[in-house]
Structure 1
């Protein structure tokens, strides 16, 4: 390249170097491998409502007696092949939801949320023993609030301007999983580990709340720890994660339900 050409792309103003990736960055979350956790089943927990109409009717009855309903759900994150996976429940081979449920009217929020998590995922009796069986849930940041303005199925991540009395508030909390834990799911449900990229922009399958989880977690950096407790990878990542056979990661059934997953 000629001297004239070089001078044409140079400037007398010193370049402004970008801050390093670690400058003013969000906190780092440590993720443990899926293989660290033990999964089992427990007695069936039938759904309270046989239909969507019945669920909305029960919501209206709750509102008339107690006011706005409070619901808490947990975003439980682990990793498989150094890619974040979200633990979620699948009901009737079609309906996906996060662990958690609505709180009783007079329950304190975090205590009530821990009760709901135990009802869904805690082992019962002497099914398991050892490390991780009775560990307390570590409820971390509130990642989102969704509002139900009317007795309808639609929820929004904001309160519409014309609504002064929303009928339900759903909070999504980050649950920081310990190094190991025992989880048991009701027999009529499946516990899945869903890759983060599977959720992203996939409202057709998972709906607006679950498909927004990758956005919610983008505020964190991740450290991926192996079974020996060593950090083997960290954010920012690299190529699309694959399994040991080189195939792209897919949702994995961990416990409960029948074998296989319906994708239609």
Structure 2
């Protein structure tokens, strides 16, 4: 999971239903962290997209998965859930401009699997700082020059109800402890 909006008691009139009022206080989230109150979103705001030629690409030593298989990953998740609670992870959507169109950059693993860069957050780690750490570990320069990642927005939140692969863009109503 990453940052998200939560319905709370600071809502517009209507018997406790609706969106949080502008300027309401941050409310505790499922994992105990607090997120700022919702601000109006201007969906027409400009986003700077830079040409792919502005970036350089090289090779790095391969990064290996922590777990040898999917079942091993979910077994590790079960064990860690008892110790640290809900797993939180982040992924970055890197946009560039090429051939007059926006493109999303993906990491290629093997010959047929592509994914967004990111990974698991450390216990108590801030989402933005964790994403910057993971982007630097995965994509950062190896010559020691500091990377300046700019994280613009949270564009989605996904929840895992069980120790299984499916994730959902909402917490199913019968789930009280997302994994």
Task: After superposition, give the CA deviation of every residue in 1:219-249 in whole Å (9 maximum; x if it has no partner).
Answer: xxxxxxxxxxxxxxxxxxxxxxxxxxxxxxx
Q: State the distance in 2 between where 1:107 and 1:36 align.
A: 31
User: Are residues 25 and 66 of structure 1, via their aligned partners in 2, closer, same or farther at CA, if it must alter by over 3 Å?
Assistant: closer
Q: What SS does the aligned partner of 2:93 have?
A: strand
Match of residue 163 from structure 1: 175
Match of residue 134 from structure 1: 146
- Work out whether 1:89 is the aligned partner of 2:130: no
Q: Which structure exhibits the higher relative contact order, with contacts defined as CA atoms closer than 8 Å and separated by 6 or more residues?
A: 1
Larger radius of gyration: 1
Using structure 1 for the length normalisation, give the TM-score. Answer: 0.50
Q: Is the 8 A contact 1:69 1:102 kept in 2?
A: yes
Q: Is the 8 A contact 2:140 2:147 kept in 1?
A: no
Task: Tell me the C-alpha RMSD between the 2 structures.
Answer: 1.5
Q: Is the 8 A contact 1:63 1:69 kept in 2?
A: yes
Structure 2 alignment gaps of length 5 or more:
1-41
- Work out whether 1:80 is the aligned partner of 2:98: yes
Match of residue 103 from structure 1: 121
Using structure 2 for the length normalisation, give the TM-score. Answer: 0.72
Structure 1 alignment gaps of length 5 or more:
1-23, 127-132, 168-264
List 4+ stretches of structure 1 deviating above 6 A.
none
Aligned pairs, number: 138
